[in-house]
Amino acid sequence: MIEDSIYDTGNEAFRDRMSNTTEDGKRNWFYVSKSSGKFTRWRNYLNYFYFALFFTLPLLRYHGRPFFMINFPKGEFILFGKIFWPQDFFLFAVGMITMIVFVIL
């Protein structure tokens, strides 16, 4: 049997107002603080790396084609110098789902 004292909140005000308002109903402003630390530095380094990678990959050539290019209007996707068309992604998705089912089960 669970005691009633566990659920007794008394006169406590819990979630009786929004967190961005004060007691009298005025707006409570939030100010963002600049984050710092080891993981923030690593995240920034990774951001720089990704920017450099995605800006330089279309400029690299492999067998006369760009190494990486996504052309939505034409429906042409080039990954690692090989052309993929939109219908290829359906086969890729079916293959990935099949692989996941066989690995998990």
The string of pLDDT tens digits covering residues 70-105 is 888 988 888 888 888 988 889 889 999 999 999 988
Residue 55 in any domain: the answer is yes
pLDDT of 3 over the 80 cut: no
In a domain, 5, yes or no: no
Report pLDDT digits (tens) over 24-56.
878 888 888 888 999 999 999 999 999 999 889
Q: So what's the pLDDT on residue 7?
A: 62
Q: Is residue 49 part of a domain?
A: yes
Domain residues for 54?
38-104
Secondary structure letter of residue 32 according to DSSP: P
Measured CA to CA, the distance from residue 78 to residue 61 in angstroms comes to: 11
Judge whether 26 lies within some domain.
no
In a domain, 81, yes or no: yes
Give the pLDDT score at 29: 85
Domains held by the chain: number:
1
Average pLDDT value over all residues in the chain: 83
In a domain, 88, yes or no: yes
Structural tokens at position 63:
């067998």
96 found inside a domain: yes
